[in-house]
Amino acid sequence: MDDKKLKILKMVEDKIITVEEAMNLLALLDKQVEKKQSEIEKTERKQKEREQKALIKRIKEEARVKKEEMKHLKHQVNGEFKQAEIIKLSENEFEILPREQKPGGKLQKKGWFGGKLFGGGRKLIIRVEEKSKAVVNLRLPLGFVVPFIKGGLKIGQMNSPEFNKYMSQVSPEELEQYINSGYVGPLIDIHDEDGDEHVYIGIE
């Protein structure tokens, strides 16, 4: 019992006020306490609502930024391959062939490349498998310049989140060095610990 209530009871005991007057005072005191508690709860509730709104706003902003990043990435990939044609060989398997610009702005597939028909010569192979299923299977003729190699790597990144982890070990510039040196063989051939993920990048 708080001091104010004790003081009221003491006044009744000393016959300063009647019991009825004391009851009225105690009831009034209870109302004041309830009002104060209600105001505290209201303030806390408003603070919680503000925090929730701020959290929702931050989540929406992060989602918007992520969406913009994906749009930008897809735009980059599309831009880098605008002078190429993607040929679908089978499910999740593609070959990227360059095109040449003809007079009048029309694009045409190049039948020859470096003195060889496509299908011959070395190719950069990018293959990602998840649970023995091909997620990415790209074959890029080695005549492609570095921007097309970057685009091929971005396709792998977009189709497999795990691809980013493995790609920290190789860069487009390193790939270009291997290409120019005449190297043939694997560059990356990694299985994860569980055996569910297989990433292979090589020159064949």
User: What is the residue-averaged pLDDT of the chain?
Assistant: 67
User: How confident is the model over 46-57, as pLDDT tens digits?
Assistant: 888 888 777 777
How far apart are the C-alpha atoms of 138 and 183, rounded to whole Å?
Answer: 18
Name 15's Cβ contacts closer than 8 Å, sequence gap at least 6.
none
Question: Which of the four pLDDT bands, split at 50, 70 and 90, describes residue 114?
Answer: very low
pLDDT of residue 201: 79
Pick from 28-37, 88-97, 109-118, 178-187: least confident:
109-118
Answer with the residue of higher pLDDT: 97 or 128.
Answer: 128
Q: How far apart are CA 59 and CA 169, in angstroms?
A: 32
Model pTM greater than 0.95?
Answer: no
pLDDT at position 103 over 70: no
Q: For residue 79, what pLDDT is reported?
A: 52
Residue 57 to residue 140: CA distance in whole angstroms: 43
Q: 32-46, 129-143, 174-188: lowest mean pLDDT where?
A: 129-143
Cα 5 to chain center, whole Å?
61
Residue corresponding to tokens 């109302």: 31
Which of 31-35, 55-59, 146-150 has maximum average pLDDT? 31-35
pLDDT at 30: 85
- Taking CA atoms, 94 is separated from 74, 160, 192, 196, in Å, by 17, 16, 24, 22
Q: Which residue has better confidence, 79 or 197?
A: 197
Q: Which residues contact 202 (CB under 8 A, 6 or more apart)?
A: 124, 125, 185, 186, 187, 188, 189
Is the predicted pLDDT of residue 110 greater than 50, yes or no?
no
Which range has the worst mean pLDDT, 8-22, 93-107, 173-187?
A: 93-107
Show the DSSP H helices in the chain as ranges: 3-13, 19-80, 146-159, 161-167, 172-181
What lies within 8 Å, CB to CB, of 200 at 6+ separation is: 125, 126, 127, 128, 186, 188, 189, 190
